Amino acid sequence: MSLVRLKIKGISYSQTQNGAYALILNEVEGDRKLPIVIGAFEAQSIAIALEKEIKPPRPLTHDLFKNFADRFQIVIKQVIIHKLVDGVFYSSIICERDKVEEIIDARTSDAIALALRFEAPIFTYKTILDKAGIFLKFSSKENEENEDDDSIVVDEILQEGEAVEIESGSETHGFREMSLEELHNELKKAVANEDYEKAAKLRDEISKRK
């Protein structure tokens, strides 16, 4: 089976599913997206790894794993999303130590959070992308506002025949009124208070203005 390389396009927040986030993966050589619903903690961990400005005062779980692996010279070479069963994605982490390769089963959200920290490539099989890959639809207004923006606002994700609404959190509307300096100050406070969900939303608002 042929592998397809993926890159992270963004993280969207869901108002219809409390505490649910959608991680959007994009095929490197194509237009299809692979949406994966993940939890709040994993979304925060991935957002922190994507945004270098957010530096937690203490290591998060995935940072601890990275420090542990570095100490014992374990390298993550790649992550493969290898199976999709009843809407659940299964992933493998391909590791290497002393030229010995090991395959470790992992939740997809954890595998991707670690892949980012190790700068390891992410792959899936073409059959999975054929089955679960979609073309995201945007309204014309959103296209005008976000034409050059890497952030994603998803109106609907069709999974297993159900529409899942994905929108920015309501708190972000207040951020739009802030200046860049105020946003950066709030970001520092959020990180200091270990409020990484708020920090991720502030980071998204800052990124939109760059």
What pLDDT is recorded for position 176? 74
- Identify the burial level of 123 via C-beta atoms within 10 angstroms of its C-beta, where 0-12 means exposed, 13-18 middle and 19 or more buried: buried
Task: State pLDDT tens for residues 106-121.
Answer: 999 999 999 999 999 9
What pLDDT is recorded for position 152? 37
- Spell out a b/e string for 12-27, using b for 16 or more CB atoms within 10 Å of the CB, else e: bbbeeeeebbbbbbbb
At residue 136 the predicted structure's pLDDT band, cuts being 50, 70 and 90, is low
Would you say residue 155 has pLDDT above 90? Answer: no
At residue 190 the predicted structure's pLDDT band, cuts being 50, 70 and 90, is confident
Please state the rounded mean pLDDT for residues 169-198. Answer: 74
Would you say residue 132 has pLDDT above 70? Answer: yes
In the chain the domains, ranked by start, together with CATH numbers, are: 3-168 (3.10.690.10)
Whole-structure pTM value? 0.68
At residue 60 the predicted structure's pLDDT band, cuts being 50, 70 and 90, is confident
Would you say residue 126 has pLDDT above 80? Answer: yes
pLDDT above 70 coverage of the chain, percent: 74
